[in-house]
């Protein structure tokens, strides 16, 4: 609803000479309004903004609007009732603001209107200077009044729209902050729950692994006693069964050791220092060469950058990846292993590449899971824990570990360490 106080405040104060000039304008406008309107429409169709608006409006509708405006002007000037015309102008100003039009664009329209009025007045009243002056005065007075009302309404509406938009932004920011606070709280709760679950799982794994050792030692010990005391007295089947027991106990013992290592890597304190990864890899190869034939292994180590990490933990990673590279390439006539590095903005990326049996990449998601194996145990020994430990160590350093492989074409293991 329009503010009645605004309408009253915008009513013009007119002298008798002002009214005479305005009536002169009204008489002229009644006679030429259609022609002036058509000429103004043709000019404004070329305007980049008003042209688009006019194209959406039929000429018939525009004529109706001009007739309404003319009737309101007539009631204002002849009867002195300016409120309906003022209300009409206020609606125009508010509409321009709602449409997002710049007020300068409306000044352009008024300038064009003044130019057209000058042309029409000049043609109609040649050499009658008094009538021209009075008519031109009336024209300017009505235009100035219309502009003052439209501008007042325009800026009131514009400020209102800005305030509403700002309020929407403030409400959106408030909602976003509330959402962030809620999300942060949920993340903290879930992180705490996850940590508690992991701590409980690690504690359970550690306890179970320790508790399993005692019965395993008993089985192992008594099995070996039987083998020793009854040597030569057991038939083939009995000897086979005891051999299977001893071998299974050994596997179980190795599995427990790996499980303990996995649990330990989640609890052990990390001490980061800068060191040479290249030297660490050379140490790992020297240790590895003691258990294999060096003549069957070809090793290439490219220059590697120093890193800041826990040396003991990274040594475990290096030893695991090197031993896997050798193990899964053992079926080749000659094992070929390449160590190198890449770099991005935030991380050092290292790789260990072999020419081994490889694996199907559709199972790559299982590679770093605990007790997950991609090859049968009778093909390659192992417990399926080693790469899970590697992943845990690298994640504790803020890095990632992944693999690329192709069956019978070898595997490349990657891990990243933040710079």
Do 154 and 295 lie in one domain? The reply is: no
Do 254 and 276 lie in one domain? The reply is: no
Which residues make Cβ contacts (< 8 Å) with residue 77, sequence separation at least 6? 19, 22, 23, 25, 26
Do 310 and 234 lie in one domain? The reply is: no
What is the span of the domain harbouring residue 321? Answer: 270-418
- Is residue 183 in a domain? no
- Is residue 178 in a domain? no
What is the spatial distance between Cα 337 and Cα 326, in angstroms, rounded to a whole number? 8
- Is residue 194 in a domain? no
Digitized pLDDT (tens) for each residue of the chain, 419 residues in all: 456 777 777 778 888 888 889 998 898 888 888 888 888 888 778 777 777 777 777 777 777 888 888 899 999 999 989 989 888 888 888 888 888 877 777 777 788 888 888 888 877 776 677 788 888 898 889 988 888 888 888 888 888 888 998 999 989 999 988 888 888 888 888 888 777 776 776 676 666 666 777 787 888 888 888 878 887 787 888 888 888 888 778 777 777 776 677 667 666 777 888 999 999 999 888 888 877 787 888 889 999 999 999 998 899 899 889 988 988 888 888 899 999 998 788 899 999 999 998 888 888 888 887 766 666 666 667 666 788 888 988 998 999 999 999 988 999 999 999 98
Domain count, the chain: 3
Do 319 and 249 lie in one domain? The reply is: no
pTM: predicted TM-score of the whole model, two decimal places: 0.48
> Read out DSSP for 304-365?
---EEE-HHHHHHHHHHHHHHHHHTTTTSSSEEEEEEEEE-SSEEEEEEEE-S----GGGGG
Burial level of 350, CB count in 10 A (0-12/13-18/19+)?
A: buried
- Is residue 345 in a domain? yes
Do 94 and 211 lie in one domain? The reply is: no
Do 223 and 345 lie in one domain? The reply is: no
Pick the last residue of a domain from 266, 290, 308: 266
Pick the last residue of a domain from 149, 172, 195: 172
Pick the last residue of a domain from 227, 242, 266: 266
- Is residue 221 in a domain? yes
Residue 154 sits in a domain of what CATH number? 1.10.490.10
């Amino acid at each position: 609803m329009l503010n009645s106080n605004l309408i009253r405040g915008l009513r013009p104060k007119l002298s008798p000479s002002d009214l005479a000039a305005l009536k002169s304008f009204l008489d002229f406008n009644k006679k030429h309004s259609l022609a002036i309107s058509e000429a103004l429409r043709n000019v404004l169709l070329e305007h980049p903004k008003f042209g688009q608006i006019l194209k959406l409006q039929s000429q018939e509708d525009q004529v109706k609007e001009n007739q309404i405006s003319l009737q309101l002007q007539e009631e204002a000037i002849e009867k002195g009732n300016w409120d309906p015309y003022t209300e009409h102008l206020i609606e125009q100003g508010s509409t321009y603001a709602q449409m997002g039009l710049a007020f300068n664009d409306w000044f352009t329209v008024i300038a064009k209107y003044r130019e057209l009025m000058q042309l029409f007045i000049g043609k109609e009243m040649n050499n009658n200077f008094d009538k021209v002056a009075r008519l031109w005065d009336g024209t300017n007075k009505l235009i100035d009044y219309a502009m003052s009302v439209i501008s007042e309404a325009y800026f009131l509406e514009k400020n209102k729209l800005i305030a509403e938009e700002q309020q929407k932004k403030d409400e959106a920011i408030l909602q976003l902050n509330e959402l962030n606070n809620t999300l942060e709280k949920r993340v903290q709760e879930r992180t705490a729950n996850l940590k508690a679950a992991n701590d409980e799982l690690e504690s359970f794994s550690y306890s179970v692994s320790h508790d399993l050792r005692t019965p395993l030692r008993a089985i192992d010990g008594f099995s070996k006693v039987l083998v020793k005391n009854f040597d030569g007295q057991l038939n083939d089947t009995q000897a086979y069964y005891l051999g299977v027991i001893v071998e299974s106990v050994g596997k179980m013992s190795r599995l427990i050791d790996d499980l303990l290592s996995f649990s330990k890597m989640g609890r052990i304190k990390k001490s980061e220092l800068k060191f040479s990864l290249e030297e660490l890899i050379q140490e790992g190869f020297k240790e590895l060469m003691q258990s294999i034939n060096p003549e069957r292994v070809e090793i290439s180590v490219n220059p590697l950058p120093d890193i800041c990490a826990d040396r003991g933990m990274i040594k475990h990673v290096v030893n695991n990846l090197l031993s896997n590279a050798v193990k899964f390439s053992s079926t080749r006539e000659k094992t070929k292993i390449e160590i190198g590095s890449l770099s991005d903005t935030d991380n050092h990326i290292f790789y260990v590449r072999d020419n081994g049996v490889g694996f199907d990449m559709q199972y790559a998601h299982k590679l770093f899971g605990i007790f997950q194996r991609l090859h049968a145990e009778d093909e390659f020994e192992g417990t399926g824990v080693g790469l899970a430990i590697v992943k845990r160590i690298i994640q504790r350093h803020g890095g990632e570990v992944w693999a690329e492989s192709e069956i019978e074409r070898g595997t490349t293991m990657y891990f990243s360490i933040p710079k």
